[in-house]
């Protein structure tokens, strides 16, 4: 079945440490890929997106993500986490139907310890 | 002011009541969406609209209806609310032109509790 998987429900990272959040998808063709962040009590905000081209994508707030076709993955990374990065992160996929109906993963909640 | 505004932000209601959640946007986008967020389930699409005359069901439309009153307004209705419709509801907009192609712009959410 077509799906978006975020295997980690919660992740705790020390402030200043590096971060990697995992996202895998199962679609036949390469879809459009997105990462969104949801801060407490807020709506979702786009961090970055991948349509084609360079497989390493830079986003806002110092985040980047790498598309790996062979692994059907689009993992989000940040070299040094700040306390303000504590939030919930959602990977999303547009199966490229042309209708832009995003399918969201179940989210990963990031906790940042002092 | 927010570009995508949802009202009410919080609502508590009883089983069987009719509820309307409203969304208005100042971004000038044609496409509008209603999503539902439940813990551990992520966001699921309820309805979407690509223009005033175009309404489409998403993956979980049962028990919901929508109205696109104008380009800027998209309302979600629960005709007879039930407890398992307790959730956080998000309205979103998108535009398929320019640098923001593919990006969804979200409101701050409407938390609905059905007792």
- Look up tokens 């223009």; give the residue: B51
Query: Average of pLDDT values for B32-46?
Result: 94
Query: Average of pLDDT values for B7-24?
Result: 97
Chain B residue nearest residue A42, CA to CA = B108
Nearest by CB to residue B102, choosing from A9, A44, A51, is A51
Query: Average of pLDDT values for B39-52?
Result: 92
The mean-pLDDT minimum among A31-40, A49-58, B89-98 falls in B89-98
- Interacting residues of B39 by C-beta distance below 8 A, sequence separation 6+: none
Choose from B43, B48, B88 for mutation: most chain A CBs within 10 A. Answer: B43
Q: How far apart are CA B68 and CA A95, in angstroms?
A: 25
Query: Average of pLDDT values for A10-34?
Result: 92
Find, among B68, B7, B9, B8, the residue nearest to B33 by Cα.
B68
Chain B residue nearest residue A95, CA to CA = B102
Q: Around Cβ A44, how many Cβ atoms within 10 Å?
A: 29
- The answer, yes or no, to whether residue A30 has pLDDT greater than 90, is no
- pLDDT band at A98; cut points 50, 70, 90: low
C-alpha pair distances (Å), B14 with each of A40, B19, B75, B98 = 26, 10, 20, 44
Write a three-state SS string for B11-45: EEECCCCCEEEEEEECCCCCEEEEEEEECCCEEEE
- pLDDT band at A95; cut points 50, 70, 90: confident
Q: Which residues of A touch B102 (CB under 8 A)?
A: 32, 34, 49, 51, 94, 100
- State the pLDDT at residue B102: 77
- State the pLDDT at residue A42: 86
């Amino acid at each position: 079945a077509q799906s978006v998987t975020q295997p980690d429900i919660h992740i705790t990272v020390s402030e200043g440490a590096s971060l990697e959040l995992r996202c895998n998808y199962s679609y036949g063709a390469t879809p459009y890929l997105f990462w969104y962040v949801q801060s407490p009590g807020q709506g979702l905000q786009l961090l970055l997106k991948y349509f084609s081209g360079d497989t390493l994508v830079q986003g806002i707030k110092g985040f980047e993500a790498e598309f790996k076709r062979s692994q059907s993955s689009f993992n989000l990374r940040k070299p040094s986490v700040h306390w303000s990065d504590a939030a919930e992160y959602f990977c999303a996929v547009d199966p490229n139907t042309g209708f832009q109906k995003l399918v969201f993963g179940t989210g990963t909640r990031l906790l940042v310890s002092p | 002011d927010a570009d995508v505004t949802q009202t009410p932000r919080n609502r508590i209601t009883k089983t069987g009541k009719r509820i309307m959640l409203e969304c208005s946007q100042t971004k000038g986008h044609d496409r509008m969406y209603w999503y539902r967020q439940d813990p551990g389930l992520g966001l699921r699409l309820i309805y979407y609209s690509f223009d005033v005359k175009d309404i489409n069901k998403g993956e979980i439309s049962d028990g919901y209806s929508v109205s696109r009153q104008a380009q800027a307004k998209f309302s979600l209705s629960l005709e007879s609310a039930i407890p398992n419709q307790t959730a956080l509801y998000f309205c979103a907009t998108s535009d398929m032109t320019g640098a923001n192609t593919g990006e969804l712009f979200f409101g701050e959410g409407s938390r609905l509790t059905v007792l």
